[in-house]
Amino acid sequence: MIEFDNVSLSFGKRIILDKMSFRAEFYEKIAVLGGSGEGKTTLLKLILGLLNPDSGRILIDGRDITVLSESEMRESRMKFSIVFQEGALFDSMNVYENVAFSLREYSALPEEEIEAQVRELLAKLDLEHAIYHMPEELSGGMQRRVAIARSLSGCKPLMMLYDEATTGLDPLTADNICQLINELAAGESPQRLGFIIVTHKVTDAVKVADRYMYLRQGKIAFDGDLSALKLTADPELAKFVEELHYCIS
């Protein structure tokens, strides 16, 4: 369980999160929506302990991570896998090396075992044929798949964090990544691998999530399911979800 308890964070004079509170289970499928600069990426960094809030508590499985040592923090971070915005890959490494990177770096496994794990992961994500390709030879969608494979290698997360996983992709490719996100989150709660996807594309969010949070001016201006989202009386949010009327009934 993730719990934000009155979390505030400013950069200089700019308030990014303003006494924000919410709770989420690891098995939930959550989309965090909001315009550019509203603090979506910041929220993920706080969950990972890559940033510390100015005030408030962030509890992961009941432990306040804002007061942990770096080694305790690492342990908490292992509960999550993050796919960063743009899913940046190492340009000078092929797909195999990109996915093997953290195993080689942080585990003492022999190369044969690493190769077995990487191959298994690539097969799962339908990437086997691209194993020796360089990132520049791959389409945007394939690069994003490799980024997801890389985030999963060497760890057994309880929850995935996707930062703008479909941004910059054409609609068909974005749809393909949404399918992959759904496949990885298949199964019944509470066993399933849940996720938080941060996005400003509400049309992609509805393909994967069943809970929606809308960030505005440091607050959660909306938190609810799709039917509530479609019925929102908030004029700004209504504008945000307007495009939904064209793509779902």
Ligand X SMILES: Nc1ncnc2c1ncn2[C@@H]1O[C@H](COP(=O)(O)OP(=O)(O)O)[C@@H](O)[C@H]1O
Q: Which residues bind ligand X (CB under 6 A)?
A: 11, 16, 34, 36-42
Q: How far is the CB of 146 from ligand X (least distance, A)?
A: 22
User: Chain centroid to CA 231: how far?
Assistant: 26
Rounded CA separation 108/5 (Å): 38
List the 159-163 sheet strands across, edge first.
80-83, 159-163, 194-199, 29-33, 211-216, 219-224
Nearest-approach distance from CB 227 to ligand X, in angstroms = 25
232 within 8 A of 196, measured Cβ to Cβ: no
Complex with ligand X: residue 82 or 99, whichever CB lies closer: 82
Q: How far is the CB of 216 from ligand X (least distance, A)?
A: 10
CB of 244 to ligand X, least distance (A): 20
Paired residues of 58 in beta bridges:
4
Residue written as tokens 């098995």? 27
Please choose, out of 38-46, 69-77, 100-108, 109-117, the segment that lies near Mg ion by the rule CB under 5 A.
38-46
Between CA 99 and CA 154 the distance in angstroms is: 9
Interface stretch with Mg ion, choices 33-41, 65-73, 115-123, 206-214 (CB under 5 A):
33-41
CA distances in angstroms from 221 to 94, 153, 187, 233, 241, listed in the order given: 42, 35, 30, 11, 14
**Among ligand X, Mg ion, none, partner that 66 touches (CB below 5 to 8 angstroms by kind):** none
Shortest distance (Å) from residue 86 CB to ligand X: 12
Q: Is 81 in the site for Mg ion (CB under 5 A)?
A: no
Q: Which does 11 bind (CB under 5 to 8 A by kind): Mg ion, ligand X, none?
A: ligand X
Nearest by Cα to 99 from 115, 84, 111, 110: 115
130 or 221: CB nearest ligand X: 221
Residue 176 contacts Mg ion per CB under 5 A:
no
CB-based closest residue to Mg ion = 41
Cα angle at 59 between 45 and 70, to 5 degrees?
60
Q: Give the nearest distance from C-beta 94 to ligand X in angstroms.
A: 30
* 33 vs 159, beta carbon nearer ligand X: 33
Nearer Cβ to ligand X (32/169): 32
Give me the least distance between CB of 85 and Mg ion, in Å please: 5
Residue 36's binding partner out of ligand X, Mg ion, none, with CB under 5 to 8 Å set by partner kind: ligand X
Return the number of the residue (53 or 154) whose C-beta is nearest ligand X. 53
Within 10 angstroms of residue 84's Cβ, the number of other Cβ atoms is 15
> Which pair of structure tokens corresponds to residue 227?
């039917």
Q: Which two tokens stand for residue 67?
A: 């007061």
The residue ranges that bind Mg ion (CB under 5 A) are 40-41
